[in-house]
């Protein structure tokens, strides 16, 4: 099974980029299952129902979330109704939507979990370890393979989660910091991992944003509104090759969809 994970979609232009490129890329790379982090699809204001539908039609089998996912109140009912659109599981049971789902992939049941760290990131949620443990316990025997998106700021926290669930979750990928790290790897017990998969949106700025606006905010501390960068759109991702007989990742390839 070839699993493609794609980093944070940072704008509607990033959504449009995937709508034009993703299916062709999936065919070229023989991708069986695709997870996209869509928490910023509406440009720092969460994800809308309309953009979520575009992403799923574009080839995203599951859309994971992050700290901005619930900022779009109009999308809350959509999150309740669509099991393939997730928000971090550790927002708790009172939050709209769900933090995990099981989806079909060529007859296999794939569990996807969206979780958020709690080091140097807001809002500060419950421990992701507690909620991931809870999901794995509740879903035991109800899935064949699993994928975790850990949306977190701190590299150490992502690595700690990766090592804690090595051999228990098949693919673990980090999101939120928007820059693809150089540490894609196979952990000792067979889990495929990368600390941050990158982003999907306009290039040439700072994490998808216009560099002038970001620098001005940092210089003056005045909350100037963000603006998207002006470079061509790119999508960062990693393709993990999973051996369905053993459940271990056997190879991986960082990719950039231009």
Q: Which residues are catalytic?
A: 68
Burial class (CB in 10 A: 0-12, 13-18, 19+), 8: buried
Q: Which of 56, 49, 108 is nearest to 243 (CA)?
A: 108
Beta strands in the chain (DSSP E): 2-6, 8-9, 33-37, 62-64, 100-105, 108-116, 145-151, 171-175, 185-186, 192-194, 199-202, 233-242, 249-257
Please give the C-alpha separations between residue 147 and each of 23, 24, 247, in angstroms, as whole numbers.
20, 23, 12
First to last CA, the chain: 24
CA–CA separation, 48 and 45 (whole Å):
9
Q: What share of the chain is helix, strand, coil (3-state, %, to 5)?
A: 30, 30, 40
CA–CA separation, 20 and 59 (whole Å):
10
Neighbouring C-beta atoms of residue 188, cutoff 10 Å: 9
């Amino acid at each position: 099974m070839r699993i493609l994970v794609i980093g944070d979609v940072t704008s509607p232009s990033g959504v449009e980029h995937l709508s034009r490129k993703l299916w062709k890329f999936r065919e070229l790379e023989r991708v069986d299952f695709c997870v996209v982090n869509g928490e910023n699809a509406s440009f720092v204001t969460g994800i809308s129902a309309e953009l979520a539908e575009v992403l799923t039609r574009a080839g995203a089998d599951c859309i994971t979330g992050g700290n901005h996912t619930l900022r779009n109140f109009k999308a809350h009912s959509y999150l309740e109704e669509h099991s393939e659109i997730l928000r971090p599981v550790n927002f708790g049971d009172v939050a709209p939507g769900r933090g995990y789902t099981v989806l079909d992939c060529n007859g296999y049941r794939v569990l996807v979990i969206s979780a958020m760290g709690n080091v140097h990131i807001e809002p500060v949620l419950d421990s992701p370890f507690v909620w991931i443990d809870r999901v794995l316990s509740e879903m035991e025997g109800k899935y064949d393979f699993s994928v975790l998106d850990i949306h977190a700021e701190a590299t150490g926290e992502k690595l700690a989660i990766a090592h804690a669930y090595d051999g228990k979750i098949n693919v673990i990928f980090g999101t939120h910091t928007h820059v693809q790290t150089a540490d894609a790897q196979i952990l000792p017990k067979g889990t495929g991992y990368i600390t941050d998969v990158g982003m999907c949106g306009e290039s040439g700025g700072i994490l998808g944003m216009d560099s002038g606006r970001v620098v001005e905010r940092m210089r003056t501390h005045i909350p100037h509104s963000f603006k998207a960068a002006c470079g061509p759109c790119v999508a960062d991702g990693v393709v993990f090759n999973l051996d369905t007989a053993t459940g271990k990742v056997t190879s991986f390839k960082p990719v950039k969809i231009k």
